[in-house]
Structure 1
Amino acid sequence: MGELDIRPAVAGDVPAIVAMLADDPLGAQRESPDDLTPYLHALKRVSSDPNQHLVVAVRDGRVVGTLQLTIIPGLSRMGATRSIIEAVRIHADERGSGLGTQLIEWAVDESRRHDCQLVQLTSDATRTDAHRFYERLGFQASHVGFKRQL
């Protein structure tokens, strides 16, 4: 396997990112790879926010993974800064290769560089394999999450 490069996502990466987002039963219901316009608009918004880090993992010139890291300054926990890891996706060809671990370790290291005292993530209740993966990396299931569509 070639060397891995983790770097900020650019517009040319959007088709590969969206394909990975759509490559599972949940993503297939909510993503639309046929129209990249909303994703490109979202990338501009994300890229202009210094607290957002949308990255891709590239191996041999091909996007093989992605995640978004959000830095959140706050008042709770004595003014702690926290980070949230979201939208972790690994290309089907790379699953089981250690790439997911490398991406999560990148996010934890980046969180430390931003003086975060806590890194958290959410995972859909149906993604039991992902839950085991995150637990192996030291994350603990600690909260019940809620969503409200707007």
Structure 2
Amino acid sequence: MLADDVLGSKRERNERPLPDSYIKAYQAISTDPNNELIVACRGDEVIGVQQITFTPYITHQGGWRATIEGVRTSSSERGKGLGTELIRFGIQRAKERGCHVVQLTTDKKREDALRFYESLGFKASHEGLKMHL
């Protein structure tokens, strides 16, 4: 799913065996109590994923934030509400963990994703910057 779109197909590697970098990332995520990898399944088929990272911040009186990343649904499931369920689940987890903010980023080229997140109440309140290393 990570490679199943125009942007992901350029940066992800969908091959067997799976590159070791993905295995190492999964191991780090699965052992970190401030990271959750959410996997939605229908039977034995994975149909959606997202990662939630919980981070304490020195700002906002030392409050915690939840960052939602890597949200993907299988192409056969798009438009059926699974993405909404995933994001609402992420918001609920943030509340359960006492976070005061849920944040996410999406590539500016993902116009549909931007509209989707805005429809769920997210606001483009900050300008984000990245540096690829």
TM-score range for the pair, normalised by the shorter chain length: over 0.9
The counterpart of 1:102, out of the listed 70, 85, 88, is 85
SS in 2 for 1:142: coil
The counterpart of 2:13, out of the listed 9, 25, 32, is 32
Confirm whether residue 23 of structure 1 aligns to residue 40 of structure 2. no
Give how far 1:62 is off.
1.0
Root-mean-square deviation (CA), in Å?
0.9
Matched AA of 2:21: P
Partners of 1:130 and 1:54 in 2: CA distance: 20
The counterpart of 2:72, out of the listed 89, 95, 99, is 89
The sequence identity of aligned pairs, in percent, is 47
Corresponding residue number in structure 2 for 1:133: 116
Partners of 1:95 and 1:48 in 2: CA distance: 30
Q: TM-score, normalised by structure 1?
A: 0.85
**Runs of 5+ unmatched residues, structure 1:** 1-19
Summarize deviations over 1:28-80 as a string: whole Å, max 9, x none. Answer: 11111125121111100111111000111011221000000000011101111
Question: Runs (4+) of structure 1 moved beyond 6 Å?
Answer: none
Matched AA of 1:98: G
The counterpart of 2:40, out of the listed 57, 70, 76, is 57
Partners of 1:89 and 1:81 in 2: CA distance: 24
Q: TM-score, normalised by structure 2?
A: 0.95
Give how far 1:101 is off.
0.4
The counterpart of 1:122, out of the listed 105, 122, 132, is 105
Confirm whether residue 47 of structure 1 aligns to residue 37 of structure 2. no
Summarize deviations over 1:6-35 as a string: whole Å, max 9, x none. Answer: xxxxxxxxxxxxxx0000111111111125
Partners of 2:94 and 2:42 in 1: CA distance: 23
